[in-house]
Amino acid sequence: MGHTTAFSVLGLLSLLVGTCFSSSLRDQVRDRISVLPGQPRNVGFAQYSGYVTVNEQAGRALFYWLVESPAVRGAESRPLVLWLNGGPGCSSVAYGAAEEIGPFHVRPDGKTLYLNPYSWNNLANLLFLESPAGVGFSYSNRTSDLYTAGDQRTAEDAYTFLVNWFERFPQYKHRDFYIAGESYAGHYVPQLSQIVYRRNKGIRNPAINFKGFLVGNAVTDDYHDYIGTFEYWWTHGLISDSSYHMLRAACNSGSSQHPSLECMRALNVAEAELGNIDPYSIFTRPCNNTASLRRNLRGHYPWMSRAYDPCTERHAEVYFNLPEVQKALHANVTRISYPWKTCSDIVGNYWADSPLSMLPIYSELIAAGLKIWVYSGDTDAVVPVTATRYSIDALKLPTITNWHPWYDNGKVGGWSQVYKGLTFVTVTGAGHEVPLHRPRQAFIVFRSFLENKPMPT
Residue 390's CB is within 10 A of a number of other CB atoms, namely 20
Distance of alpha carbon 91 from alpha carbon 134, whole angstroms: 10
Structure letter (DSSP) for residue 102: S
Distance of alpha carbon 106 from alpha carbon 93, whole angstroms: 12
**Cα first-last separation, the chain:** 71
Q: Which residues of 269-307 are buried (b: 16+ CB within 10 A; e: fewer)?
A: bbbeebeebbbbbbebebeeebebbbebbeebbbbbbbb
Q: What angle, rounded to 10 degrees, do the helices at 241-250 and 261-274 form?
A: 160
Distance of alpha carbon 228 from alpha carbon 205, whole angstroms: 41
Question: What's the number of CA atoms in the CB half-sphere (13 Å) around residue 206?
Answer: 16
Distance of alpha carbon 415 from alpha carbon 455, whole angstroms: 9
Is residue 224 flagged as an active site residue?
A: no
Which has the closest alpha carbon to 395: 359, 347, 369, 352?
359
Is residue 393 flagged as an active site residue?
A: no
Backbone angles phi, psi at 267, to 5 degrees: -65, -35
Q: Is 429 helix (H, G, I), strand (E, B) or coil?
A: coil
Which one is catalytic: 354, 432, 437, 448?
432
Which one is catalytic: 27, 151, 221, 380?
380
Is residue 183 flagged as an active site residue?
A: yes
Q: Is 173 helix (H, G, I), strand (E, B) or coil?
A: coil
Which one is catalytic: 92, 131, 183, 354?
183
Active site (catalytic) residues: 183, 380, 432
